[in-house]
Structure 1
Amino acid sequence: MEQIDRRTMLCAIAACVLAAMSRAPAARCSPVRWTIPVGRLPAPAGALIQLPGDGNQLALTVDDGASVPVVDAFAHFCQDTGTRLTFFVNGANPSWSVNAPALRPMVASGQVQMANHTWSHPYLNRMSLDAVADQIRRNADFLRDIYGSDGTPYFRPPYGLHNADIDRVAADQGYTTVTMWSGDVGDSRPENEASLIANAAKSFQPQQIVLIHANLPTVTHCYAQLLDLIHSRGLQTVTLNDVFS
């Protein structure tokens, strides 16, 4: 009888530990209170690499969207935590149409922002300027049709490749701010969770624009750790529209 009681007690302890572990991510990912930034600045013309000033803002920018489940996971992450971010969309990827019902309310509220990353992510420096214009225009039409906003003036050229002619073509369509980045999590190629978190630890600093991709599933396994980094450093996530008028 004593042996049975001990086994029963150990099983009960194990069950409590597992239950606590299963609840931990939800507690860690509770929505955060967001304060409206004061003194928004005009969006800069030309290349934008990091946020101005010496505040505690962090601009998370998420590119591409080649994976429907990864974009879905980002949408739920934002819903569950209140995180604010900017998506640089390739409209050719079905993820932006499939997940539009989840994303549209957050776009409407301003928590999530959509911006232009071209229609299908080509090397713009290998195309005619007419083709460059078509890539930008087609994606702008998609964003207006699906999300009600074309994301102007923010444009991110695929692979970060641009020149004066490409910038001029983008500006002619209202995309006067070529949005680059000052940090990344290294997920433009496959990497493990430890590497991704190590890169984020370097990049999650005040006033940085951080590049993430919605292509590979690794990032979806790291949301709790990424949120811990943001909170532990006292950073406030912002969209580009939160900072610039």
Structure 2
Amino acid sequence: MDRRTALRAAAITVLAAIGGVRVAAANPMPEIPLPPWPPVPGLPPLPEVALPPLPEVALPPLPTLPQAVPVPGLPPISLPPLVPKVPAPAGTITRLPGESNMLALTIDDGTSPEVVAAYATLCRDTGFRLTFFPNGVYRSWTDNAPLLRPMVDSGQIQLGNHTWSHPDVTAISTSAVADQITRNRDFLRNTFGVDGAPFFRPPYGRHNAATDRVAADLGYRTITLWSGTLGDSRIVTAGDVVAAAQGAFTPQAIVLGHANQRVIPQSYPQLVDLIVSRGLRTVTLADVYA
């Protein structure tokens, strides 16, 4: 029996069970009063006995959940890490802390609705966990909100703040920086119910002490840079993306990509194979940082 047939059979079984309960509830059996037991000649009536309360039993702790294991024929599932979170630092991060097999794939911008949709579908179909840094000016985020929102709500997809329209924040006034961050924050709240704090990624990775202070004052104290990229800030082929990922996909890496070029989804099968073959576990930043 294939997976679809098994799921359909299970659904029919559940529906049948639910239907049976509803029929029984709608047509309850009438209560029939039973007569009291007659006394037996020669035997005294039984005394009422008060039973002592049952002792409380301390249950053992639940076992640690196993790591997800890829199953041939089924998409890989990436669960959140079974490690304690660490506080999100005030300052710049380029890698995940500690030593593990975690990989934080982070995707910026979103000029292409098709690529945003493709990344969201990849997460939905594989269970991979991913962090987007949207610019709210692009309609791709509004267009794809119905697809993204359930995974944002569940924590599988996380959003960070990348400014409203992607300016170089070191080249504009601090008031303009504040407006860019605030406008994008409000967009994220109104569209996805989150604001992305405390993670701020300055466009082009350019920032200074003044822009960091503005971001921190608005709740974005963790300046999120990267340790490797998919190389797609320039015009690329799918082969270029795979070649860049071979160097970037390493344990504890924060990898930068972009949802801009329609060629990017062509690399997804190779990217998935690379993640699985290296035993990496995709995580969002919120999976790691409190």
> How many correspondences in the alignment?
219
Alignment of 1:141-152 (within 5 A): 141-152=186-197
Aligned equivalent of 1:60: 105
Of residues 213, 220, 224, the one that matches 2:265 is: 220
Question: What secondary structure, in the 3-state scheme, does the structure 2 residue paired with 1:61 have?
Answer: strand
Q: Distance in 2 between matches of 1:35 and 1:61?
A: 16
Aligned equivalent of 2:129: 84
Aligned equivalent of 1:239: 284
Deviation digits for residues 36-61 of structure 1 (CA, Å, limit 9, x no counterpart):
43210000110011001110000000
What is the letter of the counterpart of residue 133 of structure 2?
A: F
Deviation digits for residues 153-196 of structure 1 (CA, Å, limit 9, x no counterpart):
00000000000000000000000000000000100011112211
Alignment of 1:44-123 (within 5 A): 44-123=89-168
Aligned equivalent of 1:5: none
Q: Distance in 1 between matches of 2:121 and 2:239?
A: 23
Q: Distance in 2 between matches of 1:212 and 1:175?
A: 21
Q: Distance in 2 between matches of 1:33 and 1:220?
A: 19
- Give the drift of 1:28: 6.5
Root mean square deviation of aligned Cα: 1.1
Aligned equivalent of 1:176: 221
Contact 2:78 2:282 survives alignment (8 Å): no
Q: Distance in 2 between matches of 1:177 and 1:159?
A: 16
Contact 1:29 1:227 survives alignment (8 Å): no
Shift in alpha-carbon separation, 1:233–1:71, aligned structure 2, 3 A: same
Aligned equivalent of 2:210: 165
Question: What secondary structure, in the 3-state scheme, does the structure 2 residue paired with 1:217 have?
Answer: coil
Contact 1:63 1:212 survives alignment (8 Å): yes
Deviation digits for residues 42-82 of structure 1 (CA, Å, limit 9, x no counterpart):
00110011001110000000000000111011111111111
User: Of the two, which has the highest radius of gyration?
Assistant: 2
Shift in alpha-carbon separation, 1:109–1:51, aligned structure 2, 3 A: same
Q: TM-score, normalised by structure 1?
A: 0.87
Aligned equivalent of 1:34: 79
| Aligned: 1:208 with 2:253 | yes
Q: Distance in 1 between matches of 2:118 and 2:228?
A: 22
Contact 1:37 1:243 survives alignment (8 Å): no
Q: Distance in 1 between matches of 2:219 and 2:212?
A: 11
The unaligned stretches of length 5 or more in structure 2 are 1-71
Q: Distance in 1 between matches of 2:158 and 2:98?
A: 21
- Give the drift of 1:111: 0.2
What is the letter of the counterpart of residue 247 of structure 2?
A: K
- Give the drift of 1:218: 1.9
Aligned equivalent of 1:135: 180
What is the letter of the counterpart of residue 110 of structure 1?
A: G
Contact 1:116 1:150 survives alignment (8 Å): yes
Share of identical aligned residues, percent? Answer: 57
Q: Distance in 1 between matches of 2:183 and 2:271?
A: 33
Contact 1:28 1:228 survives alignment (8 Å): no
Q: Distance in 1 between matches of 2:199 and 2:268?
A: 26
The unaligned stretches of length 5 or more in structure 1 are 1-26
Contact 1:201 1:229 survives alignment (8 Å): yes
